[in-house]
Structure 1
Amino acid sequence: MRIIDLSTSIDASKWEPETVVHEVTSPADGATHMAEEMAANFGLEISPADLRDGELLSIDTLTLTTHTGTHIDAPSHYGTRTTYGNGVPRNIDEMPLDWFYGPGVVLDISEAEHVADAAYLERELKRIDYTLSPGDIVLLNTGASVYAGSMLYFTNFVGLDASGTNFLLDQGVRVIGTDAFSLDAPFGDMITRFHDSGDRDVLFPAHFVGRDREYCQIERLSNLDDLPEPFGFTVACFPVKIAGAGAGWSRAVAIVEDGAA
């Protein structure tokens, strides 16, 4: 069995639309902090000098959004109301875990103009000779991951339109992933097409489908080109359980069994 990492790092040294702050408490500072906390909260006395090398444990404190790095969007990310169920979208901690473990298939949409529609996805499935089944996890290769860590990552990619999103959901897909910043087209592209056409449906169509049909997105994947074949592998992408959140980080991986190409 081989495990291929499909995740991007959370890296405070890289450019992000929302700045990531990563503060590190060193093991030495951790020892001092622990001694102070023990004295203040429990009346216990211990000195850093009592600890091996005068050190205890390092602590990392990060300030970031749940949409930094590889993450999964929950239905509540798409809006406050739905046209399905009881009208209230579920948060990331409420999603069934079996959604995030299943057969994976990569569809290359890098040659699409602006967005890939249903017809484009059908052609790609025919090209790789694959038929989607309920529970499949579809990963879209837009080619954007080569720009990860730069501003181009947030402007140079291909999105999915409403017809493409609905087509995948019609096949029983519940989780759609992309190596791009967003499952929708870049903001500038969508807004330009909106001003040119006056059509509001070009604005965030993939996300807004989620107000009518329950599904999750995995955004900011990587290493899709490392997969030996476009299918025949298993995806594991369990989201971090954050109560009441519209998204959760994920260490997404592909599991390729022995004997696979």
Structure 2
Amino acid sequence: MALTTSFLLLFLTSLTLTVAANTAYPTIPGTDNSDCAVSGELKPVRREIYGEGQIYDISHRYTEDMPSWDKTEGLGQFLWLPASIKNGSLANNSEMKLPTHTGTHVDAPGHVFDHYFDAGFDVDTLDLRVLNGPALLVDVPRDKNITAVVMESIHIPRGVRRVLFRTLNTDRKLMFKKEFDTSYVGFMKDGAKWLVENTDIKLVGIDYLSVAAYDDLLPSHYVFLEGREIILVEGLKLDGVPAGIYSVHCLHLRLLGAEGSPIRCILIK
């Protein structure tokens, strides 16, 4: 009986550890982790949705094959392990090198205005009160860029300060294709101007590497960032998230002197 009891306690302890590990390491959708406890193999799990839709992770996972601005072969290697336990080091210590406007990221005014860059308007000066709070996720008509006509048709009411725009980019899964695609959907200058003049929006989020359409790249950015009141979050992962009202939480790195930064964004229902 003592042997049986000990075995049972060992089994329950092992099961508890497995459950704890699964909670700590979320799962990629479609990944089968049902055999983890049976095989005894350590296998981290990952997920995009927590609590059956209570929390959505809308940040893209960094991979070598993710798109990078104007590149055809994707981001490429960005992570190295110069110090590893296997090679005799006391611990594993990775190093990372990547453009600050890679994946899900934020723009600061110094991104397109050199006088703002010189004056120090970097990502460390961005207002966390703008990057966190109630937000609206809307679907943009899929056959066109975001023009003044499109903005007017969406009917975003006054008082809404944060809007995430889901476009054809999500349907085409452009953020999962390593080749940069200039045909992505974004804001035209007149659409950006209409937003600035006719709404209270201070956080603009979009689902590809630039909030501005490729053909109106700098003009749209100028309109958004000239007043230093609007914050742009680009490269959002909006697939599988129902349109509606959420609480958005975006936290970037405090990179002194940088005009952009990777950012982690989640939606809480």
Query: 1:176 Cα deviation (Å)?
Result: 0.6
CA contact (8 A) 1:185 1:204 kept: no
SS of the residue 1:226 aligns to: coil
- 2:266 pairs with 1:209: no
- 2:38 pairs with 1:7: no
Distance 2:225 2:115 in 1: 7
Provide closer, same or farther for how the CA distance between residues 97 and 79 of structure 1 changes in structure 2, counting only shifts above 3 A. Answer: same
Distance 2:113 2:97 in 1: 24
Percent of aligned positions with the same letter in both sequences?
24
Q: 2:157 aligns with which of 105, 109, 131?
A: 131
Aligned to 1:64: 98
Q: How do 1:97-176 and structure 2 match up within 5 A?
A: 97-113=128-144, 115-125=145-155, 130-133=156-159, 136-145=161-170, 146-151=173-178, 153-170=180-197, 171-176=199-204
Query: 1:254 Cα deviation (Å)?
Result: 0.5
CA contact (8 A) 1:92 1:247 kept: yes
Normalised by the length of structure 1, the TM-score is: 0.70
SS of the residue 1:250 aligns to: strand
Structure 1 residue runs of 4+, over 4 Å off? none
SS of the residue 2:100 aligns to: coil
Amino acid at match of 1:116: I
Gaps spanning 5+ residues in structure 2: where?
1-50
Query: 1:72 Cα deviation (Å)?
Result: 0.4
Aligned to 1:245: 258
- Structure with greater contact order relative to length (CA < 8 Å, sep ≥ 6): 1
Distance 1:246 1:148 in 2: 22
Aligned to 1:22: 79
Aligned to 2:10: none
Amino acid at match of 2:266: V
Q: How do 1:214-229 and structure 2 match up within 5 A?
A: 214=228, 215-222=230-237, 224-228=238-242
Aligned to 2:13: none
SS of the residue 2:114 aligns to: coil
Gaps spanning 5+ residues in structure 1: where?
34-55, 191-201, 257-261
SS of the residue 2:194 aligns to: helix
- 2:211 pairs with 1:183: yes
CA contact (8 A) 2:142 2:168 kept: no
Distance 1:104 1:144 in 2: 20
CA RMSD after TM alignment? 2.3
Query: 1:89 Cα deviation (Å)?
Result: 6.3
Provide closer, same or farther for how the CA distance between residues 206 and 112 of structure 1 changes in structure 2, counting only shifts above 3 A. Answer: farther
Query: 1:91 Cα deviation (Å)?
Result: 0.8
